[in-house]
Amino acid sequence: MGSLLEGRTILVAGVTMDTSIGFATARVAQEQGATVLISNFGRALGITRRIAKRLPAEAPVLELDVTDPAHLAALPDAIREQLGEDATLDGLVHSIAFGNPETVLGGRFVGAPWADVAQAIQVSSYSLMSLAHAVRPLLSPGAGIVGLTFDASVAWPAYDWMGVAKAGLESCARYLARDLGADGIRVNLVSAGPLKTLAAKAIPGFEEIESGWKERAPLGWDNTDAEPTARAVCALLSDFFPATTGEIVHVDGGYHAMGA
Ligand code: NAP
């Protein structure tokens, strides 16, 4: 147990399984003293409610489809319902992405249909802004927003339009940092190495992306351990990064810094 996030209230959006990066983040945040709410949407909501019981303290589960304007508009009241009328948020974690594996991932870059590309970008990039906008009335000065990316500075096998969506997310984070900075709100991303989550398993050809990672990363890499990523997210949420915004912190064993 620690006290890095003592007294802070954090919404972690995007928790389905206990393999989710969002789950590890919620767990570490609670271990560091935070009050945590988690969210998910649709059919997986029941799974999230069961998984929420596996956290050190069962977290309230909110229904939130980031493509549904009604869910976004109702979010502040849903949070107040859980935490009381004076509720504020000190942290928001965006741990959300989706791309149709049949059409925009797995080597189908050229010729991908716009409707599916648009969906990937709406869910995986635009939603950082729409979610931040939705909770803005609750965000306290000094609050941190942290999202998850996968290094979008290069092209990967199989990642295709999700790579473009991540490039959009990275840019979105910088613009949000620009526009929310005056309110003392920091916006940063963690660029994680490959982790065996539901989202990753849904990418046809994910093994190609992760092959050789362990060997090339100077620190090595365990693709079943989301804790290093979760810890970095929590550090960025904390007041140990008070003057950092628009930043991307790599948590990938050092892979990104090696030429070969
Ligand atoms: P995950 O467990 O599948 O989490 C992704 C979450 O996004 C799921 O809870 C998913 O819900 C949710 N989601 C999808 N569409 C949504 C929508 N319209 N509204 C609200 N939530 C929605 O996989 P993860 O790997 O932890 O992913 C979390 C983040 O980390 C993503 O941004 C991902 O790109 C990023 N990341 C992952 C890796 C990796 O290797 N795994 C590496 C770097 C970055 P459902 O399960 O119900 O669809």
Ligand 1 center–CA 81 separation, angstroms: 25
Question: Largest alpha-carbon pair distance within the chain?
Answer: 54
At 129-162, the pLDDT tens digits run 999 999 999 999 999 999 999 999 999 999 999 9
Region of residue 66 (phi > 0: left; psi between -120 and 50: alpha; otherwise: beta)? alpha
Gap between the Cα atoms of 258 and 260, Å rounded: 6
Domain boundaries, the chain: 9-257
Looking at residue 139, what is its pLDDT?
98
Looking at residue 96, what is its pLDDT?
98
Beta-ladder partners of 72: none
**Selecting from 3.40.980.10, 3.40.50.10320, 3.40.50.720, 3.30.420.40, what CATH number does the domain 9-257 have?**
3.40.50.720
Looking at residue 153, what is its pLDDT?
97
Confidence label for 1 from pLDDT (cuts 50, 70 and 90): confident
Q: In the chain, which ranges are E strands?
A: 9-13, 35-40, 61-63, 89-94, 139-149, 186-192, 248-251
Q: Which residues are catalytic?
A: 159, 166
Residue whose Cα lies nearest atom 8 of ligand 1: it is 14
> At a CB cut-off of 8 Å and minimum separation 6, what does 50 contact?
none
- Ligand 1 atom closest to 42 (CA): 47
Q: Helix, strand, coil: what percent of the chain each, to 5?
A: 45, 15, 40
What is the pTM assigned to this prediction?
0.99
Ligand 1 center–CA 226 separation, angstroms: 13
Instruction: Check pLDDT > 90 for residue 102.
Output: yes
Confidence label for 39 from pLDDT (cuts 50, 70 and 90): very high
H or E segment at 104?
A: none
Confidence label for 176 from pLDDT (cuts 50, 70 and 90): very high
Q: Which of 38, 40, 208 to mutate to test the pocket of ligand 1 (most atoms within 8 A of CB)?
A: 40
Instruction: Check pLDDT > 90 for residue 124.
Output: yes
Spell out the long-range contacts of 69-72 with Cβ–Cβ below 8 A and sequence spacing 24 or more.
71/41, 72/130, 72/131, 72/133, 72/134
Instruction: Check pLDDT > 90 for residue 167.
Output: yes
- Ligand 1 atom closest to 122 (CA): 18
Confidence label for 184 from pLDDT (cuts 50, 70 and 90): very high
Ligand 1 center–CA 88 separation, angstroms: 25
How far lies 48's CA from each of 53, 133, 147, in Å?
A: 9, 24, 19
Pocket of ligand 1 (CB under 6 A): 14-17, 20-22, 40-42, 44, 64-67, 95-98, 123, 148-150, 192, 194-195, 197-200
> What's the mean pLDDT when you consider all of the chain?
97
Instruction: Check pLDDT > 90 for residue 185.
Output: yes
